[in-house]
Amino acid sequence: MFCPYCNNSETVVKDSRISEDGFAIRRRRHCTKCDSRFTTFERIQTKELIIVKKNGEKQFFDRDKLARSIKMAIRKRPVDLHKSEEIVNDIIRELETSQQSEIKSSILGEIIMSKLAKLDPVALVRFASVYKNFSSAKDFKEFIAQLKN
């Protein structure tokens, strides 16, 4: 593992623990050259997931991108940050247990929205506004009206 500060390839694992969700190992590392400390995570990956965008472009699934979008949706909401990590892990498990290795971005978006709907209605609207590309207040109003029904 390379040190993120000095790029030295010799680092030492000082501590290993199972993450709170039980699906990763958290390792505290120490660089032998610059004496810095940093944390890494090991996660199980059962298969390579590929996201197929609306325009047909394909890209590898990015866990960090998913986590960032969920954290942005719940930002400044009365939602425990651990819940966002749980949602990310749930979504990944759902995608990995599906029979497909290529997943349409629209399916991923709907899965995310279903998880956010159970968590926080404002977070759902925030995510939907970006995912569905709202361009006016009318778009928000129509989406909220659909939620009420």
Residue 60's DSSP bridge partners are 50
- Whether the pLDDT of residue 27 is over 90: the answer is yes
- Tell me the C-alpha distance between 120 and 112, whole Å: 12
Mean pLDDT for 25-32 is 94
What percent of the chain is modeled with pLDDT above 70?
98
Is 148 inside any structural domain?
no
Statement to judge: residues 63 and 111 lie in one domain: yes
Q: What is the span of the domain harbouring residue 15? A: 11-43
Whether 10 contacts 33, CB under 8 Å: yes
Statement to judge: residues 21 and 76 lie in one domain: no
What pLDDT score does 116 carry?
Answer: 95
Statement to judge: residues 64 and 112 lie in one domain: yes
Statement to judge: residues 55 and 126 lie in one domain: yes
- Whether the pLDDT of residue 46 is over 80: the answer is no
Statement to judge: residues 90 and 75 lie in one domain: yes
- Tell me the C-alpha distance between 19 and 43, whole Å: 10
Statement to judge: residues 127 and 83 lie in one domain: yes
The residue to which tokens 């349409």 are assigned: 104
- Tell me the C-alpha distance between 79 and 92, whole Å: 20
pLDDT digits (tens, 9 = 90+) for 102-149: 999 999 999 999 999 999 999 999 999 999 999 999 999 999 999 887
What pLDDT score does 148 carry?
Answer: 85
Alpha carbon of residue 58 to chain centroid: 18
- Domains contained in the chain, number: 2
- Work out the mean pLDDT of the chain and round it to a whole number: 91
Mean pLDDT for 82-93 is 90
Statement to judge: residues 38 and 54 lie in one domain: no
